Structure 1
Amino acid sequence: MKNNFSDRFINAIESLAAIFVGLVALNIFLNVLLRKIFSTSIPDSYDFGRMLLGILIFWGIAATSYRGGHITVDLVWTAATPRIRRAIDIFATLVLLFVVIVQTTMLFDKVRGTYNDRVLTYDMNIPTWPFYAVAWAGDVCAVLLIAIRTWRLMFNPESLEHGTESSESQENHG
């Protein structure tokens, strides 16, 4: 498969999601280490952990939305013909796209609200809106990836990478 712009974009989103997993783990590890060995903690580590976890969730949504690697129940899909399977996949992806667009709009309101209200962290009084903005950017990426997936499902289904549960099932049953 050639490595075009959308594929590089998808890989970059997945890499960023992995980096956020590492940051959350590092924050937890350092905080536990500092508490146990030095009886101290990182200032605002709770706030950072909470906001990093939110960022991780939204970037994780972006990473799993394109690959279709999330948990699915596909009893009807498995029993369907390949043409109906594709229609189910397109419908489900369009519903997901709509839901994530609404979610992204609501999250932008949260970013704007924390910016306008000048919400700060507890210990160091760091503005929280940039953390919400990074989470929102992950949601925007999820919308873009779901749109790419929808386009490919509708007009170029063979361009979707093999290895997802859906494509493996199609190969085995179709």
Structure 2
Amino acid sequence: MEAQSGLPGRFSRTVETITATVAIVGGILLLIVAGLVTTSVAGRWLFSKPIPADYEFVEIGIGVAVFAFLPYTQVRSGHIAVDTFTQRLPARVNAAVDAVWDLVLAAFLGFFAWGLVSGAQESFQYNETMVQISWPIWPVYAICAGLAAVAFLGALAVAVLKFGGRA
């Protein structure tokens, strides 16, 4: 069963277009990571020369991709839900329970965004770099913070709409 959007009308289409585009970019990033791993393994096997820092690139790529998928999943109400105890409750009560959980998720996403912003600031301040290649790490924190903030706003919007009976 396809997940249904918790957002109404034109706003819904705009938000879903933006979040779907970000999720597609996350998917493309995963394909790039898969290509990197394949190339590195082939290089290691055939020529004894893997791609330098391949593990770090995989870690970063997967982390950013996960954060890219969160906003779309949230606005589509696509997270796993266990409704064993609420399935016989009235629809309005179920919507309120879902809205409370959306607020809990929003709180966690807001906390993650705040922590990632703090991490980006510290990483920038101390000029932290990747271990094997001296590339700065703060942009990764900043990108993930932005994506977590978008997911936070999506969770908040969906919760408010569910409380209002419009979702």
TM-score interval, normalised by the smaller of the two chains? 0.7 to 0.9
**1:15 alignment counterpart:** 24
TM-score normalised by structure 1 residue count? 0.79
Q: CA deviation at 1:19?
A: 2.1
| Structure in which a larger fraction of residues adopt helix | 1
1:80-120 residue CA offsets vs partner (Å, 9 max, x unmatched): 11111111111111111111111111111111111111111
Q: CA deviation at 1:7?
A: 2.7
Q: 1:105 to 1:131 in 2, by over 3 A?
A: same
**1:103 alignment counterpart:** 112
Distance in 2, matches of 1:41 and 1:98, equals 41
**1:166 alignment counterpart:** none
Q: What amino acid maps onto 1:84 in structure 2?
A: V
After TM superposition, the structure 1 = structure 2 runs for residues 42-81 of structure 1, keeping only pairs within 5 Å, are 42-81=51-90
Q: CA deviation at 1:125?
A: 0.9
1:28 counterpart (37, 51, 74)? 37
**DSSP-derived class of the 1:157 partner:** coil
Equivalent residue pairs, number: 158
Indicate the RMSD between aligned Cα atoms, in angstroms: 2.1
Distance in 1, matches of 2:162 and 2:33, equals 33
Q: 1:56 to 1:10 in 2, by over 3 A?
A: closer
Identity of aligned residues (%): 22
More displaced, 29-38 or 80-89?
29-38
Q: What amino acid maps onto 1:120 in structure 2?
A: T
Q: CA deviation at 1:54?
A: 1.7
Q: 1:144 to 1:20 in 2, by over 3 A?
A: farther
Q: CA deviation at 1:41?
A: 1.4
**DSSP-derived class of the 1:71 partner:** coil
Q: CA deviation at 1:156?
A: 6.2
Aligned partners of 2:16 and 2:72 also within 8 Å? no
Aligned partners of 2:102 and 2:159 also within 8 Å? yes
Q: 1:132 to 1:98 in 2, by over 3 A?
A: same
**1:117 alignment counterpart:** 126
User: Is 1:41 the counterpart of 2:50 in the alignment?
Assistant: yes
Q: What amino acid maps onto 1:89 in structure 2?
A: D
Q: What amino acid maps onto 2:89 in structure 1?
A: A
**DSSP-derived class of the 1:75 partner:** coil
**DSSP-derived class of the 2:33 partner:** helix
TM-score normalised by structure 2 residue count? 0.82
Q: What amino acid maps onto 2:100 in structure 1?
A: F
Unaligned 5+ segments in structure 1 are 159-174
Q: 1:55 to 1:12 in 2, by over 3 A?
A: same
